[in-house]
Amino acid sequence: MSVQSSLLMTSVLAVAANHLGFQDPRYSAIAFQYKGSTLKSLRRILTADWRTTSESELLGTILMLCFLEISDQCHPNWMAHLDGANAIIGRPSITQDTYSDPILSCFIAPYFAAHNIMAYTAVANPALEPRLLEGGRHWLSKINRPCQEIDCIIGCSKELLSIILETSLQIRRLKKNTSPCKLRQARAWKDTTERKLGNLKQEIPGDWSSEQPPSSFHSVIAAWNTAEAFRHATVLLLQYLDDQDSCHESTIQSCVHTILELVKQCPIHEHGARSSSFWPFFIAACHSTREQDRVYVLNRFRALERPKRFGNIRPARKVIEHVWKQRDLRADDTDQERCGVRCFEWEDAMAQLGSNISLT
């Protein structure tokens, strides 16, 4: 596709140069030039002759820009690109989409679905919530694979990703309206969803057959561990819909322990391969209270930061450290007081640090 599209090819070259720039600073200027050229062409297309460019070409280019900004110290513009992708969906076009290949859509849809939904669980600016919710729902509907099949781009199944989105929505609604009626409805929804999560069976993709080489066995185990970490992180989030009592905290710490044990079995590749278990790891880290757990979290962050392939690692670590500091300073406060004006403590930390972290 990039061979036939100069717009997309320029964005791919920008990502490639940025990647090489981690080892050789001379490529950073080249990355900046390609990025600027891509943005200039994209702006011209969207404001003048967008009807001459296919949707797949535009979305592919925006995906690369989003990827580039996250890699480049998690620059806040990645959220602007994500918003741009959400704005393009459903746009009328007179150009036939010559790239409407099922394989292409199976890559683009999960990427934008995961980024919208994970961003919806960590929003520094409340004004972004409606668009992230709408974008998450749209891209979920475009994922064309069995609902319980683990998607390695996402890290879990489509069904679980949908539950994460709806859980975040329920928590945000409850934060805005804590009337007795809403509390009862939220707890009833929590109990139903918790049972659903307990019975949820996420499946390894059918094309990962037993006839593949032995090395693929480790990939299967890692995929299953990651998907399970996502499931337990969702159970943890559900506790925000319940009474803030000792049982609630006990469930949270049990989830933290399980998630960290699962993450320990997901190796960090020395060449900087993407960590699909990053979202559940972040959620568990924010709630960790034991000294040994926090030491492990920081050690894993150091290992993740070492390859320098993804710029979202350091900002996320800063947010977690800020959450720990504030939690320790206000150890005697209720959970509701800890969360401040936002739904989650990490959102308050993001706002105070001026950070738009990416958890994918």
Q: Is 331 part of any domain?
A: yes
Q: Are residues 274 and 342 in the same domain?
A: yes
Q: Residue 150 is inside which H or E element, if any?
A: strand 150-151
The residue range of the domain holding 84 is 1-98
Per-residue pLDDT, averaged over 16-28, amounts to 92
Confidence check: pLDDT of 331 > 80 = no
Comparing 167 with 355, which gets the higher pLDDT?
167
DSSP 117-145: HHHHTS-SSGGGHHHHHHHHHHHHHT--S
Task: Evaluate whether 7 touches 42 at the Cβ level (below 8 Å).
Answer: yes
| 42-71 mean pLDDT | 87
Strand, coil or helix: 156:
strand
Q: Are residues 214 and 315 in the same domain?
A: yes
If asked whether residues 112 and 145 sit together in one domain, one would say yes
Which range (65-69, 73-77, 212-216, 341-345) has the least confidence? Answer: 212-216
For residues 165 and 304, state if they share a domain. yes
276 shares a domain with 142: yes
Unique residue bearing structure tokens 């290992």: 303
CA distances from 136 to 84, 141, 168, 318 (A): 13, 9, 12, 26
- 300 close to 268: Cβ distance less than 8 angstroms: yes
Last residue of a domain, one of 47, 68, 98: 98
Condensed to tens digits (0 to 9), the pLDDT of residues 121-164 reads: 999 899 999 999 999 999 999 888 899 999 888 899 999 999 99
In a domain, 358, yes or no: no
pLDDT digits (tens, 9 = 90+) for 276-330: 789 999 999 999 999 999 999 999 999 888 776 678 899 999 999 999 999 888 7
User: Quick one: what percent of the chain has pLDDT higher than 90?
Assistant: 59
Residues 191-206 have pLDDT tens digits of 999 999 999 999 988 7
Mean pLDDT of 246-262: 90
- Quick check: helix, strand or coil at residue 105? helix
What is the model's pLDDT at position 63?
Answer: 95
